[in-house]
């Protein structure tokens, strides 16, 4: 594995890191209950995914 022979400056390091941008996940409304959920994830409110029950949610009584 290659290792640098000389130390790189902070400016050079920071120039390399400028291209990274943190992106928030895209949220959509659940077609079953209307809660906000991520694409391709089970709804955390009702437990449905693509119109089918994926997780049985326990009701708080």
Domain boundaries, the chain: 23-61
Give residue-wise pLDDT tens across range 1-60.
Answer: 789 899 999 999 999 888 888 888 899 999 999 999 999 999 999 999 999 999 998 776
With contact defined as beta carbons under 8 Å apart, do 36 and 29 qualify? yes
With contact defined as beta carbons under 8 Å apart, do 15 and 23 qualify? no
Q: What is the b/e burial string over 43-60, where b = at least 16 CB atoms within 10 angstroms of the residue's CB?
A: beebbbbeeeeeeeeeee
36 membership: H or E segment, kind and range:
strand 36-38
Q: Is the pLDDT of residue 61 over 80?
A: no
Give the pLDDT score at 1: 74
pTM here is 0.57
């Amino acid at each position: 594995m290659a290792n640098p022979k000389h130390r790189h400056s902070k400016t050079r390091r920071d120039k390399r890191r400028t291209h990274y941008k943190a992106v928030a996940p895209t949220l959509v409304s659940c077609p079953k209950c209307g809660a906000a959920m991520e694409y391709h994830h089970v709804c955390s409110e009702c437990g449905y995914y693509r119109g089918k029950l994926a997780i049985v949610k326990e009701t708080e009584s």
